[in-house]
A = this chain, B = another copy of it.
């Protein structure tokens, strides 16, 4: 049993770095900028420098380090190679091999949404469970599926791409992915605002949302304040997401759904709207699945990355 490991979360702007003990306590965390120029050729050397520097600074014994886990905004194949990562300006990159050569330590890489799900299972809203579906409601909708403690990566790295499951045949606007009627178009931070604008345009119902900027936060604040129109939007949001999670339950039958991302800051009220429709549409055996809010915030990535390399 070794003593330490590193969890690294590479984003389009910054690389979040964490030094962990193998129990999962964060001993130190810090950030370095992500240098995406020249097809992101500096990113992995920069990560290696950060790690090697930290080992030297703390005078750590390399034999006591389990390895480095890395989360990437893109699909990762079975050999630890990244197929592409638009935000890093990367095409195909043999991440595990390359970072292993640069540090002399074992490396394990995974898609960032999947890795965050692993983090929440280990230390967050899904702690104590081994069959977890994580939903991240941010600018887009991300997801991660954990079965028996292991990430479902999928054949094309698209396991848990639940933001792009089809939920609405009548949609005519396109999602960023090119399809029409994706879950993300209704339940991401952007999507819920889009729905709100449609409600506001189609009715004359008075609402606090007619004053000032409409955001996911102002919508759910209005819901809590008893605004009728905002509550209609929340119903529609809950119906799309609750139904989609009921469908997912019929595929992988998880113990717990963990809801994270900016929209989830609305708190318990959000879960209430989702669960109402989940319970209506889920297969009987799955109706008692637990719903929990994510707890790790920005640390989910480094935490999950650390868990990835610990296995």
Smallest Cβ-Cβ distance to A253: which chain B residue: B154
Q: Is A131 an interface residue (CB 8 A)?
A: yes
**Chain A: number of interface residues, binned into ranges:** 35 or more
Please report whether the interface of chain A is mostly helix, strand, loop or mixed according to DSSP.
loop
The one of B152, B178, B181, B251 that contacts A284, using a Cβ cutoff of 8 Å: B178
Is the CB–CB distance between A249 and B284 below 8 Å?
A: no
Contact with B along A280-292 (1 / 0, CB 8 A): 1101111001000
Q: Is A272 an interface residue (CB 8 A)?
A: no
Stretch of A39-47, A64-72, A157-165, A188-196 at the chain-chain interface = A157-165
* Chain B hits for A269, CB < 8 A: none
Q: Is A179 an interface residue (CB 8 A)?
A: yes
Most buried by B among A145, A159, A178: A159
Smallest Cβ-Cβ distance to A167: which chain B residue: B247
The one of B152, B154, B155, B247 that contacts A247, using a Cβ cutoff of 8 Å: B247
Is the CB–CB distance between A283 and B160 below 8 Å?
A: no
Q: Is A267 an interface residue (CB 8 A)?
A: no
Most buried by B among A153, A158, A251, A286: A251
Q: Is A124 an interface residue (CB 8 A)?
A: no
Docked CA distance A166–B240 (Å): 12
Q: A155-B289, A164-B250 are in contact. List 6 more A-B contacts (CB 8 A).
A: A152-B253, A161-B250, A165-B283, A166-B243, A177-B283, A247-B247
12 A-B pairs (CB sep. < 8 Å): A147-B147, A152-B253, A154-B254, A156-B286, A158-B286, A159-B252, A161-B286, A162-B251, A165-B247, A165-B250, A166-B246, A181-B281
On A, residues with C-beta under 8 Å from B are: 75, 131, 145, 147-148, 150, 152-162, 164-166, 169, 177-179, 181, 243-244, 246-255, 280-281, 283-286, 289
